[in-house]
């Protein structure tokens, strides 16, 4: 992948991707608990969460001021802030950083909004290349069923209403997610995603995820990343069993 900067740090970067309702956040949370139980330093980073940029994103969303380009840029700004002030320092310190969505989310969403693939891929070139990227592959109807169950009121940009696909917010969301899904599918091979079949049980998915983590990063997790001193560990028994 020529798109990112290589990770030259002690820490490792693990990324989950997938459309809304694919179950990726649940899986990442389970994975991080497992890593923590082995005394490994784990940090989380969520999409669209930089305190520095939040105010601007909110203003833009509230007044529906965004164009595809400014929408893309403000999310890249948010990402850059998290990368510069949070992810990179933690990777340097040796933490395993677990990112719920990464640049791939922008590759999918922003392209659906109308910016070119070439441009948005260049935009995120400053990002650190993940050590592992999981893609939670799920048919559209299953994901929509999980999201549109009722509890959740869809928001304007979340439903892709700015694209003018439909006046009905739920219908717009369906069409929008469908297109995002297509983009994910299209980039999956190129980006080297580890594809997880997200129609499986939660337990089966987690088992598969842990196997891949051990196979790909086992040595680094044992020898390279930052660990709690032995005496301060919880669940160190389980840890020694797994590693």
Partner 1 sequence: MAPKKPLEFYSEALPGVDTTELQGKLIVIEGPDAVGRTTQIVRLQEWLEHRGHAVLATGLARSALARKGIQRAKQGNTLGPITMTLFYATDFADRLENEIIPALRAGFIVLTDRYIFSLIARGVARGEDRLWLERVAGFALVPHAIYYLKADVSDLVSRVVFGRGRFDYWESGMDMRFGQDMHDSFVKYQTRIIQSLDHMAKRYHFTVIDASRGPDAIFRDLQKSISKLFPPSGLRQTRTRGAAGA
- Using CB under 8 A as the criterion, which residues of the chain lie in contact with partner 1 when the complex forms? 50, 52-53, 55-56, 59-60, 65-70, 73-74, 76-77, 80-81, 83-85, 113-116, 118-119, 122-123, 125-126
Nearest residue (CB) to partner 1, 67 versus 168: 67
Give just the sign of the alpha carbon dihedral 97, 103, 104, 110: positive
Least distance CB 119 / partner 1 (angstroms): 5
Nearest residue (CB) to partner 1, 77 versus 206: 77
Q: What angle do CA 21, 26, 28 make, to 5 degrees?
A: 115
Nearest residue (CB) to partner 1, 49 versus 200: 49
Residues 67, 72, 77, 80: what is their CA dihedral angle, to the nearest 10 degrees? Answer: 180
Altogether, the residues listed in the chain come to a count of 243
Contact yes or no for 191/1 (Cβ under 8 A)? yes
Least distance CB 110 / partner 1 (angstroms): 10
Residues 15, 16, 19, 23: what is their CA dihedral angle, to the nearest 10 degrees? Answer: -160
Least distance CB 11 / partner 1 (angstroms): 18
Helices (H), the chain: 24-37, 51-62, 68-82, 88-93, 103-113, 117-123, 140-147, 169-187, 202-223, 236-242
Least distance CB 193 / partner 1 (angstroms): 24
Least distance CB 56 / partner 1 (angstroms): 3
Nearest residue (CB) to partner 1, 92 versus 152: 92
Nearest residue (CB) to partner 1, 63 versus 241: 63
């Amino acid at each position: 992948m020529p798109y990112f900067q290589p990770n030259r740090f002690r820490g490792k970067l693990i990324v989950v991707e997938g459309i809304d309702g694919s179950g990726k956040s649940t899986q990442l949370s389970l994975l991080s608990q497992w890593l923590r139980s082995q005394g490994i330093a784990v940090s989380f980073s969520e999409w669209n969460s930089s305190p520095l940029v939040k105010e601007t994103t909110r203003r833009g969303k509230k007044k529906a001021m965004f164009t595809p380009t400014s929408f893309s840029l403000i999310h890249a700004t948010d990402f850059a802030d998290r990368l510069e002030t949070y992810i990179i320092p933690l990777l340097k310190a040796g933490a395993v950083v677990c990112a719920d969505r990464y640049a791939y989310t922008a590759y999918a969403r922003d392209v659906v909004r109308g910016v070119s693939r070439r441009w948005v891929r260049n935009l995120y070139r400053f990002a650190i290349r993940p050590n592992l990227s999981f893609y939670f592959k799920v048919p559209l109807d299953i994901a929509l069923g999980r999201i549109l169950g009722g509890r959740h009121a869809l928001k304007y940009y979340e439903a892709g209403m700015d694209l003018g696909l439909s006046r009905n917010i739920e219908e717009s969301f369906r069409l929008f997610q469908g297109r995002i899904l297509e983009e994910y599918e299209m980039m999956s091979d190129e980006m080297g995603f580890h594809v997880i079949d997200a129609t499986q049980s939660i337990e089966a998915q987690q088992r598969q995820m842990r196997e891949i983590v051990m196979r790909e990063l086992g040595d680094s997790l044992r020898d390279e990343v930052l660990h709690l001193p032995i005496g301060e560990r919880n669940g160190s028994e389980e840890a020694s069993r797994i590693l």
